[in-house]
Amino acid sequence: MTKPMSASEILGGAMESGIIPEVAEISRRGDVKWTQGELSYVTWISKGPEGFLTWSVNVGDAKFFDALKPYGGMSVRVRAISEGVLSWPLKGERESLLLCLDEMRHGIEFVRDRADLASLLAEESDVVRGAAYAWQPAASYPARLVQSLVLASDINANDLIDCIVNKMSSDVLILPNGNRLEIRKSAAYWAKQYSKVLGFEIPLPP
């Protein structure tokens, strides 16, 4: 009976195909980490309850990653739109492996650069691109706005800064559970927390 590939073997296949760079660190747990240019990546795969393969990719800013690591980093989490449909590859089944790797490629290539990351963080909800989407819960919106402001300021993206400031001026966001989230108040809280680990003040609009 043909045995299933291990998680590290699947990720090794991604490295051989060039989807993941050779400098990446693959663990037996089914995750792989690397930094490429201005962005840092953490990709992991797991087996769902029905045996399907699922993958996720965290794409973050390499410069601020370590400082904001206690808060999950300055990153977006990318997932497949159609989860629960990829069969876990078996040893010797090249076709199913290539299908999985093609799906993962959408997540790894989702964020183009730091400016794109800053723009994604400032979005209120999920962002869909092709076969993948950036999962962005409404409750994290104020925190993401602050992260986006820090990143946009670092790259001098003035148009984006103006857009973020305008979004921060909104009063209340109604969450899916019906609760009200005060955007400016929550953003001020997160700006204070991030300032502590970044070592500089994050000025917010009045």
3-state SS track over 51-71: CEEEEEEEEEECCCCCCCHHH
Q: How many CB atoms lie within 10 A of CB 103?
A: 20
φ and ψ at residue 173, rounded to 5 degrees: -115, 125
Q: Is the pTM of this model over 0.85?
A: yes
- Is the Cβ–Cβ distance between 21 and 34 less than 8 Å? yes
Tokens 């990318």 found at: 78
Tell me the residue type at 92.
G
Three-class SS of residue 27? coil
CA distance 158 to 203: 14
- Is the Cβ–Cβ distance between 80 and 134 less than 8 Å? no
Identity of the highest mean pLDDT range in 2-16, 48-62, 185-199: 185-199
**pLDDT reported for residue 51:** 82
**pLDDT reported for residue 78:** 97
Q: Which residues contact 138 (CB under 8 A, 6 or more apart)?
A: 124, 125, 173, 175, 176, 181
pLDDT tens for each residue of 124-180: 999 999 989 999 999 999 999 999 999 999 999 999 999 999 999 877 888 888 889
Look up residue 76 and give its DSSP letter: E
**pLDDT reported for residue 48:** 80
**pLDDT reported for residue 87:** 87
- Is the Cβ–Cβ distance between 56 and 43 less than 8 Å? yes
Tell me the residue type at 35.
T
pLDDT tens for each residue of 22-36: 999 998 788 999 999
**pLDDT reported for residue 95:** 85
Three-class SS of residue 5? coil
pLDDT tens for each residue of 82-131: 877 788 998 888 888 888 899 899 999 999 999 999 999 999 999 999 98
**pLDDT reported for residue 1:** 67
